[in-house]
Structure 1
C-alpha cells in the first residue's frame, strides 16, 4: 500500500529560519580562488554568472516570466533536495526536466568525484546528468556553472579545446521542452530531480485527471513517473496546492497508484516569493496497486468529519465579473463580516442571479496562512432572508439547520486541534473545500 507520510523535519517546517538571512557559508562551499586563475575561467566569464542570470531574466518580459514559471531554485533548497535524494552511482543517470540555470544539477555534481582532467570529468558528469530547459540562455549558464564547479574541485583543462568545445562536452544539458519530449528519456535515466514551473497551462484531451487550466508542475511529475523504470526515484519541489488542493485529488490518487511517496512541507519557496512549497519524493513500484489511500482511510475511520454535519460550498458571487442582475439580497463578504461574531443584519446588498445561502450558516474566510493565529476565521450569519455570498468565503450550512450548531462549530475552530489539522493538511494561502470537509470534529457540533 502507498501511504502519504508527512515527515516533521526541522529544516522543512521551520519557515522562519528558512526566511531569515544568514552570513554563514554552506558547509560544502567550494573555494573558487584558485580556479579563477585559469585562462578558461576568464574566457568563459565564470566570475560573472550571477550577472548573467540577472541579464537572462531581464531578457524575459514579466508576462513571459509568469507564463514560463521562472523561479530559480535557491542554493539552500537545492542542497537540501539533493541531500534527501541521496544519489548514488547505482541510480543511473539523473534528469532535471526544467533545469533553468542549473542549480539542482550543480548541487548534484557537488557530490561527484572528479578526474584530474577537466575534459574527462565533464564527460563523466555528462553521462550522469541530464538537464533540459526551453530557455537557451539558462542552459548555457547551467553548463558554465558545472564547468566552474569542476574547476573549483581541482579538474585541470588540457588546453587543447576551445571554451565552446568545453561547454559542448555537457551535451546532455540542452535546450528542449520536456512536456513534448519526455518519452525520449525512457531507458536513459534512473531518477528525476526537479523544481518544475508553477505556471498554469491548458489541459489536453489526453489528460484524464483534470480539465481546463491547471498547474504545469503536476504534469511534470506525471510524465517523470511514466519514464522511470521500476524502483526509479524522483524528487520534486512543488507548489503546496498539489499536496492539499481538492482540484488535485485525482492527481494524488494517480500518483499513489504509480509510486510509494512521501510529502514533506517546506514553507515559503524563498523570501519575496509568496508561494509555499513541499518536497515530494517517490519510488516507482514493481506493480501497480489500485489503492487510493484517502478513500481507504475515510471508509475505515470512525471519527466524525465536518462534512457529516455541514454542507460545505464556496460562495458563488464574483463582484467584478458577474453581471448585476437578479434578485437583490444581503451580501456577505470578508470585509464586512466581524470575526467570531453572530450577525443578524448585513450592511450591504447586491443583485445577483446565482445561488443564495439559507441562514443560519457559518461564513469562513478562504484566505488563510500558516502564520495566522487561527487557520479558520469565521462568522455566523443569521439573517432573516437568503444571502448572496462572495467567492472568497466558504459556506458551512448545518444539516440540522440550527443556529446552535453554527455557534458551536465556530467556537471549535478556535482550538489548537483545528490549527494543527489545517497546518498538516495545507500550507498554501487559501483554504479548500476538501480540507474543510475533512476536519475531524467529534461531537463539536453537538456540544460534546
Structure 2
C-alpha cells in the first residue's frame, strides 16, 4: 500500500491550487494557510500507517524544526550560483517551501513560476508526496503574490504542469550520479531518512549497518561543486556519537562547516533528537577543523579521564558464555536512580574481566534532559563491596585511579550538578551516552583533586 492513501490529500491540494489560481481567496485563504503550515504532516500521520512511515523514512519537516531551518537559511548570503535549490528527499516539500522565502517575485505569478520552475528541484520515492509538494509550492507562490498585491490569475495548465523538476526517483542515486558527472552548483536541502541500511562496500567511513542519514549527507557533500551549499536536519547521533567520528572527518574534509545547531526533539510525534547543519563545499586544496560539540571547559583544566578509568561494562549477557567463576552481576535494571548501593543480588558465571569496587556506574541509555527512574541525566551510582563484580555492557564504569571511595563520592557530586547535565545535553543528544563523552566531561570538583 505504501503512501498511496496520501494521494487523496494531494488531489485536494490540486483543487485548492486551482481555486487560488483564479483568485478566489475569500473562500480559501484559511485553507491555503493550513496547507502551507503543518497540515501536510498531520495528514501524513492520519492517512499513512506509522509502520509505513517508518519503513519509507516519511517524517515531514514542520513546526519548530522547520522554523529553525528557515532561520538558518536566512543567515546565509544568497549568491546567484546557490539560488537553485534541490531536496533529494523532498516529501511534501517543506524544505523547498522554506527556500522559496529566499526567491524573488517577478511582476506576475506566471513569470515567477517560470523562474521558480528552473530553480526548484526535488526527488522522492512516493508519487503522492511529489504531487503534494508541487501544489504546495504553487500555493506558496500565489500567496506571496497576493500579499504583494500582484495576484493576477494563473492559467490552469500552468498549475497542473508546475515544478517539473520535482520528480519521482531515488534521491540517493541521483546524488551519487552527480558525484561522478556534473556536480550540482546550487544549494542542497536535506532531511534524509533516519533508518539504518548496509553501507556500500566502497564506503570509506563505515561498514555494515549504517545510518541512512549519514549516507545521504556524505553523498550530498560529494555531489556539490565547490562553493555549493548544504543545509540539513540530521539525527544528533551523527554529531555526537562515537561511531560516526569517521563520518564527521569525511565531511570536514569536504565541507566548510559554518554552523552546527543542536535543536532537540524533532517534533512531538517523532522522538529523535536532531541538529541543523549549514556548510559550503570546499574548493580543492582547502582544509580545516570543525568543532561538532562544545569543547570541555573546566576550572582546573581536568576531565574525568584524568582521574578515572572509563569503560563500558564488559558483559554482553545474550552472547557471553555462562562459564568461569560465579560473581555478582550488575545490570541497569538493578540500579537505584542515584546514590550508593552494595553488591547486587543477581549473580552470573563469567570467565572474563571482573571489576573491583569501589566504582561509579552510569546508564548508557539516557535521554537528554532526564535520566532513568527520575534522576538527572548522567546521574551515577556508587557501587561498594569486597568482591569483584561482572558489569553489564549497558552501563559505563568509572574506576578511580587514586583516592578510592572518596574520589567516587566527588564524582557523584560532579554528576548531580545542573551544569553537568547541561554539558551532556550539549555534547551528546542521542539516546546513548558514550565513553568518549564521559571521558571528556569537565572535572569541576569543589575539592581540588590531589
Please classify the TM superposition score into its range, dividing by the shorter chain length.
0.7 to 0.9
Map Cα deviations across residues 9-32 of structure 1 (whole Å, 9 max, x no partner).
xxxxxxxxxxxxxxxxxxxxxx99
Displacement after TM superposition at 1:101 (Å): 0.7
Which residue matches 2:424?
422
In the alignment, is residue 362 of structure 1 matched against residue 374 of structure 2? no
Cα distance in 1 between the residues matched to 2:17 and 2:133:
17
Displacement after TM superposition at 1:381 (Å): 1.8
Which residue matches 1:102?
93
Displacement after TM superposition at 1:442 (Å): 6.1
Cα distance in 2 between the residues matched to 1:35 and 1:401:
74
Contact kept in structure 1, 2:256 and 2:288, CA below 8 Å: no
Distance change in 2, residues 1:289/1:446 (3 Å): farther
Which residue matches 1:260?
256
Q: Secondary structure at the match of 2:210?
A: strand
Q: Which of 289, 299, 303 does residue 305 from structure 1 map onto?
A: 303
Q: What is the TM-score with the length of structure 2 in the denominator?
A: 0.79
Cα distance in 1 between the residues matched to 2:447 and 2:198:
41
5+ unaligned residues in a row in structure 1: which ranges?
Answer: 1-30
Q: Which of 390, 403, 406 does residue 404 from structure 1 map onto?
A: 406
Which residue matches 2:174?
181
Q: Which of 162, 165, 169 does residue 169 from structure 1 map onto?
A: 162
5+ unaligned residues in a row in structure 2: which ranges?
Answer: 1-15
> Residues 107-186 of structure 1 correspond to what in structure 2 (within 5 A)?
107-115=98-106, 117-152=108-143, 153-154=145-146, 155-159=151-155, 161=157, 166-185=159-178, 186=182
Which residue matches 1:26?
none
Distance change in 2, residues 1:229/1:444 (3 Å): farther
CA RMSD of aligned residues (A): 3.6
Map Cα deviations across residues 233-289 of structure 1 (whole Å, 9 max, x no partner).
211111111111111111112222222222111111111321111111112223445
Map Cα deviations across residues 185-210 of structure 1 (whole Å, 9 max, x no partner).
44443111221111111112211112
Distance change in 2, residues 1:34/1:130 (3 Å): closer
Contact kept in structure 2, 1:218 and 1:251, CA below 8 Å: yes
In the alignment, is residue 35 of structure 1 matched against residue 20 of structure 2? yes
Displacement after TM superposition at 1:58 (Å): 6.4
Cα distance in 2 between the residues matched to 1:116 and 1:433:
58
Q: Secondary structure at the match of 2:311?
A: strand
Structure with the bigger RCO (C-alpha within 8 Å, sep 6+) is 1
Contact kept in structure 1, 2:64 and 2:267, CA below 8 Å: no
Contact kept in structure 2, 1:366 and 1:430, CA below 8 Å: yes
Cα distance in 1 between the residues matched to 2:447 and 2:306:
10
Q: What is the TM-score with the length of structure 1 in the denominator?
A: 0.80
